[in-house]
């Protein structure tokens, strides 16, 4: 990393993959559903298209397809993987963890590798990347698969256009390896900061132990939907952004000008643009793709890396900042050399 940076972890991204489900939903369709004039949803969200999973495209299925895509592109076999970490913000079922279900879907029934989930809502990839980098750098694992598979469309409210307009389904997978001597690739600093003052601004209250159908605290139909107070969320995260940036850059020993590419969580057009402005990220360095896929939650950042590579926006040696916000409310960032 640049001068002044903390000791970096010798870890590199060796392959990426993605999976986009089959049901294409244009914003004009949502205009009709919510009774808006044609063009409103796209203007309000910056999103033209998103995709939803069909009946067979479950999260484990999509996760397995993204993994298979990454392995194929990297010419890597599952036998060379030591751990599979699911970093989705929504789980497939309450028990067991999603990672084991993805492994099952891959047909790796007698795998014997480590398989567990990290959930930091939309920041799961940032936290998972940091955790995996530490485990690889210290020699616990040689090669780790991170996979984010989100099928949040099932929990969208039929009446809350604001959240229903931004969410898309999708999956992305990233293979992490030890960077050998001579390779510039590394992970620099990473930070996550949670402010539960915003915990209720973005939530799905049911689908856990608190509001369980068998408990005295029975969920209402609304509790099964995803709810978001977008304006309050943007206000809160904007207020926190400058302090977060300063703390991150100070701890990392870096400055924003050190980065060649910034891959933000693609929350929504207005939200991500405001966040980039507050963080003072130069527009031309920011990789935006939400217009074509919407907000795919925890898959947003790894799918962004995948698309940036596909589109030749990212090459070996580039200094990259991953940054985003998540329910909780949390801010997170990670710096790396690709």
CA distance 198 to 41: 25
Distance CA 334, CA 64 (A): 25
Among 90, 266, 295, 335, binds a second copy (CB under 8 A): 90
Query: What part of residues 210-269 is at the interface with a second copy (CB under 8 A)?
Result: 210-217, 221, 224-226
Burial of residue 124 (number of CB atoms within 10 Å: 0-12, 13-18, 19+): buried
Query: Nearest 5 degrees, angle CA 227-CA 328-CA 7?
Result: 145
**Does 322 help bind a second copy (rule: CB under 8 A)?**
no
Kindly tell me which residue out of 31, 69, 108, 177 binds a second copy, with binding defined by CB under 8 A: 108
79 binds a second copy, rule: CB under 8 A = no
> Which DSSP symbol is given to 80?
G
Kindly give, in sequence order, each residue whose CB lies less than 8 Å from that of residue 175, ignoring residues fewer than 6 positions away. 13, 14, 15, 16, 70, 71, 74, 76, 81, 143, 144, 145, 146
* Out of 28, 33, 40, 96, the residue judged to bind a second copy by CB under 8 A: 96
Of residues 139-168, which lie at the interface with a second copy (CB under 8 A)? Answer: 139-140, 150-152, 154-156
Identify which range of 73-81, 196-204, 262-270, 313-321 contacts a second copy by CB under 8 A.
196-204
Binding piece for a second copy, criterion CB under 8 A, among 98-106, 173-181, 257-265, 269-277: 98-106
Residue number with CB closer to a second copy (42 or 117): 117
Q: Determine, following the binding rule CB under 8 A, whether residue 181 of this chain makes contact with a second copy.
A: no
Residues 6+ apart with CB under 8 A from 61: 105
Pair 146, 87: CB distance under 8 Å: yes
From the list 111, 142, 184, 232, which residue makes contact with a second copy (rule: CB under 8 A)?
111
Contact residue for a second copy among 45, 185, 254, 330 (CB under 8 A): 330
């Amino acid at each position: 990393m640049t001068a002044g940076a903390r000791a970096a972890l010798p870890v590199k991204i060796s392959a990426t993959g993605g999976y986009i489900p089959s049901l294409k939903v244009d914003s004009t369709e949502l205009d009709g559903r919510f009774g808006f004039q044609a063009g409103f949803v796209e203007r309000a969200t910056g999103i033209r298209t998103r995709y939803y999973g069909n009946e067979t495209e479950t999260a484990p299925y999509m996760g397995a397809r993204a993994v298979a895509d990454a392995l194929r592109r990297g010419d890597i076999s599952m036998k060379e993987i030591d751990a599979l970490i699911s970093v989705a913000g929504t789980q497939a079922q309450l028990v067991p963890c999603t990672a084991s279900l993805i492994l099952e879907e891959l047909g790796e029934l007698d795998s014997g590798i480590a398989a567990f989930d990290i959930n930091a809502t939309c920041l799961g990839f940032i936290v998972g990347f940091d955790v995996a980098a530490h485990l690889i750098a210290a020699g616990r694992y040689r090669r780790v698969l991170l996979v984010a598979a989100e099928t949040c469309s099932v929990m969208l409210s039929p009446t809350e256009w604001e959240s229903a307009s931004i969410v898309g389904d999708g999956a992305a997978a990233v293979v992490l390896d030890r960077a050998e001597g001579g390779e510039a690739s590394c992970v620099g600093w990473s930070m996550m900061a949670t402010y539960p003052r915003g915990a209720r601004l973005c939530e799905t209250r049911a689908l856990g132990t608190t509001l369980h159908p068998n408990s005295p605290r029975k969920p209402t139909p609304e509790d099964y939907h995803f709810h978001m107070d977008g304006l309050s969320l943007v206000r809160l995260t904007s207020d926190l952004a400058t302090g977060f940036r300063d703390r991150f850059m100070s701890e990392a020993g870096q400055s924003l000008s050190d980065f060649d590419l910034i891959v933000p969580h693609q929350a929504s057009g207005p939200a991500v643009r405001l966040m980039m402005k507050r963080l003072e990220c130069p527009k031309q360095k920011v990789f935006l793709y939400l217009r074509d896929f919407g907000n795919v939650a925890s898959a947003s950042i790894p799918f962004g890396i995948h698309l940036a590579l596909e589109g030749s926006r990212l090459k070996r040696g580039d200094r990259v900042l991953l940054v985003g916000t998540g329910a909780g409310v949390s801010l997170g960032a990670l710096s790396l050399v690709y």
